[in-house]
Amino acid sequence: MNLPMKDEILKRFLLAKDTPISGQSLADELGISRTAVWKHLQTLQEEGYVFETIKKKGYVLKGKPDKVDPARITSFLTTQRFGRNIQYLDEVTSTQSVAHELAREGVHDGTVVIAETQTMGKGRMARPWESTKGKGVWMTVVIRPDVPPSQAPQFTLVAAVAIVNAIKSVCKNFTPTIKWPNDILINGRKCTGILTEMLAEMDRVEALLIGIGINANQQMEDFPPELQTIATSLSIEEQAEINRPQLVAELLNYLELYSNLYIKEGFKPIKALWEESSGTIGKQIKATTLREVIEGKAIGITEEGVLEIQLDNGEIKGVYSADIEIM
């Protein structure tokens, strides 16, 4: 990833942790002047970064604003493609809308659009999504898998497995579960939603847009009253502040890993991982589709990611898309 020079400098301080870096060494390494280094440090300080000058040693990064900017995310990344191009915005109508435009313009596989807040965030069925500024992860990943359109819905389940594992890597006090098809719950309350949209031709996927909204550092008063009984955040459940850039990077690390696994070995290994983390399988549920309401026991998902529900009479019905309520 080719970061802007300011972010290249910041990334070096993030990786150096508390080790001083001299202005001259930065200038030599990056091929710029000492004056240019100083100007970039001034810009970073205006953005909220705090540097301390250590005599005869250089600068040390002592304070960071809480932002999900590219330099902070990439300091935790281990991917080859995902997150190597990050479009960071302070405010946006919807990361999904920006990603649509970028995908049509031909951006690379794994490009990320991420913002501190969305003014018109959306979930499934165009429902509004509350995007508290600076408190959550509001992002869309553009991926370009070589799969037919019929396999696109399975990437929602791939993303769910990646998100659960990312959350587990930064939070230790609870275990998130997946509610089919696109929600992550903690103790029955929603903390994450996934919205997968597709740009496709008749026989091939041009791009998948995986929109992800994670309630990270909200406290209960940050949610509107109508959500306070059904929503939660990672911070509330962990009882600690969440490092959002680290969470984003872990998510991208797992999303690339499991996307590659799916392309290479098919849905079977993803299905096993999904069922391990499912909070739906084995439960009595009510599934509301566009045509009917189905009540029964969720018994598993098929190789196509379809939810199987066993009715009281023993009949098994497959559900492709529905709102799920656990009874």
* Residues composing the chain: 327
- Helix, strand, or coil here: 103? helix
Going by C-beta distance under 8 Å and a sequence separation of 6 or more, which residues neighbour residue 55?
none
CA distance 204 to 214: 30
The backbone region for 155, taken as left when phi is positive above 0, alpha when psi lies in -120 to 50, beta otherwise, is: alpha
50-54 and 58-63: which strand pairing?
antiparallel
- What are residue 39's phi and psi, to 5 degrees? -65, -40
Cα–Cα nearest to 147, from 308, 305, 318: 305
- Annotated ligand binding at 190? The verdict is yes
CA 233 – CA 125 distance, rounded (Å): 22
Mapping DSSP to helix (H, G, I), strand (E, B) and coil, where does residue 240 land? coil
Distance of CA 31 to the CA centre of its chain: 34
Which DSSP string do the residues of 104-139 spell out, in sequence order? HHTPPTTEEEEEEEESS-B-GGG-B----TTTEEEE
CA gap 147, 145 in Å, rounded: 6
45 is in an annotated binding site: no
Query: Do 87 and 62 contact (CB within 8 A), yes or no?
Result: no
**Residues within the annotated binding site for biotin?**
118, 190
**Residues within the annotated binding site?**
118, 190
